[in-house]
Each structure stands twice: as C-alpha cells, then as structure tokens.
Amino acid sequence: ISVPKTKLINDLKKKADWMYAHIRNNEWLKEGFFNGYYNNDKQRVEGNINGLMRMTLTGQTFPIMSGIATTEQIKELVNNVRKYLKDKKLGGFHLNTDFKEEQLNLGRAFSFVYGDKENGAFFNHMAVMFAYALYKQGFVNEGYEVISSIYKMASDTQKSKIYPCLPEYFNAEGRGMYSYLTGSASWFILTLLTQTFGVRGQNGDLLIEPKLSGEQFKSTHKISITRTFAARKLKIVFINPKRLAAGKYRIKRFKLNAEWIPVQEAPQVVISREVILNLPKQKLNIIEIHLG
C-alpha cells in the first residue's frame, strides 16, 4: 500500500507525544524519580516497595536524555540519585540500589551478588550516558560530577588495581573490571567532544557550545581539543581568563587562524561549512574561543 509520508509523520508524532506525556505523568513516582521497568508479572519495579527503596540509574537516564523529564523533575531526581545511588565512600554512582533478593521475573542481573556486574556495580556505560543526558539538558555541573567520578575511581589505583583506563565497571570494592568496553568508550568520547567541549555538527555547519565547568579551569585558564571536521584538522582552544563556571560565561570573541571574526556575544557560535571548507587541508587550523 502507499501511505503519504506526511500522514505517517503526523501519526508517529501523535504516538510519540502520547508516550512522552504518559511516561512524564504516570511513571513519575511520588518518591521523586522515574520508574523505568516492569517485571514479567507486570509489576512496577522501582519506588518504595514493601519498605525498600528500589531505584535504577537507567530509569532516570533515558527520560532526561529524551527530553521527557521536566527541569523540575531533573532537579529532584538528581538529588535522589545522589541520595540512593551515589556511593558515599567511593564517590561513584551505582547502577541500582540493592533489591536484597533475586528477581527471576526481571532478569539474570539480580543473580549476581550486589555490587558486581549489572547488579549495582559502578557500571560505566550507564554512568557516562547519564552524564551525557545531564549535559544535553544543560545540567553541566551535575554532568561533570558524574563523568569525573569515573576518572577519580580509575585513577585511584590503590583501589582500582588497574592502569587508569575506562573499565566496563568497578565492583563494590572499587576495583576496575574488564579493561575496556567499546560502548562505554564511544559514549565517553561522544560526551566529552559534543557536550563538555560542545564541538559538534549542526545541519552541516560546525557548532561550538562549550559546557566546561569551573572545576576544569581550576589549574589553567586555557583548555583545547583537536578534532577533524569536514576533512579539516581543527584545534579548538577555549580561553577563560577569569576561570568562570559554566552558565557564568559566554563566547565573547572568536579567532580563526589568527584572524578575529566578528561574533555576537552568545553561549554558542556556528561556523558555516563553507568557511570550514575554505580552510587549508594539510594544516592544523586554530580556532580560539574567548570566554567571559
């Protein structure tokens, strides 16, 4: 059969709008976070169940990332993630609270002892995605808190017992397990590049929207990143002389290969693809972003 594409688009949009509203209104729990799962018996998994608080990091990540969670909901659930999932001793974020018993109607994860693998470990794949979601919605300090917790756990080699890298997860003792996981690695790079540094494509053009925290400028006023865009090698240098925190600075001035480019003071700057394509291919092109 032949269906007009506009009719399909409208139909899918209506379904998506219904799902967004349904999750935002019906899966937001009175405890102050989202329910993300139902078990095989159609029972809600998260919330205060028989006096035991059950919460998953996954159930909070995707409502934020997709734009379902409102600003007020994000603020409240972040506080509850700190309360129920952040480890007071190691500083990382657990994948879930301790459900205290096997959940054979939910999945194999709960057959692992709590703190290992998918049952309550510091599972980096989801931690990075949670950080990405927070950055995406403008919660810069919260995103940095999550992503930097991974670095701190990895570099504490007395506990992690690994060379600093991105392991699949840290167990309950803070030990890094499985030296590298491509899912975590790709999301980690994606988060740093497109959200923390804010360097990404937008309809073919280059968008630069830094979300660097004040903590990242603690020991220097200049941070840079090198990447390729439209087959041109670029070094983007962020200069923050007052070491202002995210939300306190805007892009004041902009220099491309030592030439000042007029720019309207704003949180972001867009460089057209045409300008990028006119840059030399064999040279490292320097973009300076002055924050203030």
77-106 pLDDT, tens digit per residue, is 999 999 999 999 999 999 999 999 999 999
The confidence score (pLDDT) of residue 109 equals 87
Q: Give the separation between CA 191 and CA 65, rounded to whole angstroms.
A: 12
Mean pLDDT, to the nearest integer, of 157-173?
94
Q: What are phi and psi of 101, to 5 degrees?
A: -155, 160
The confidence score (pLDDT) of residue 46 equals 97
Matching residue, tokens 């390729």? 228
Position 240 confidence tier, pLDDT thresholds 50, 70, 90: very high
Q: Of 157, 216, 214, which is closest to residue 192 (Cα–Cα)?
A: 216
pLDDT of residue 183 exceeding 90, the answer is no
The confidence score (pLDDT) of residue 235 equals 98
Mean pLDDT, to the nearest integer, of 261-273?
93
Q: Give the separation between CA 52 and CA 155, rounded to whole angstroms.
A: 33
With 0.85 as the threshold, say if the pTM is over it.
Answer: yes
Express as a percent the part of the chain with pLDDT over 90: 93
Cα dihedral 262/268/273/274 (nearest 10): -10
The confidence score (pLDDT) of residue 180 equals 75
Q: Give the separation between CA 63 and CA 22, rounded to whole angstroms.
A: 12
The confidence score (pLDDT) of residue 61 equals 98
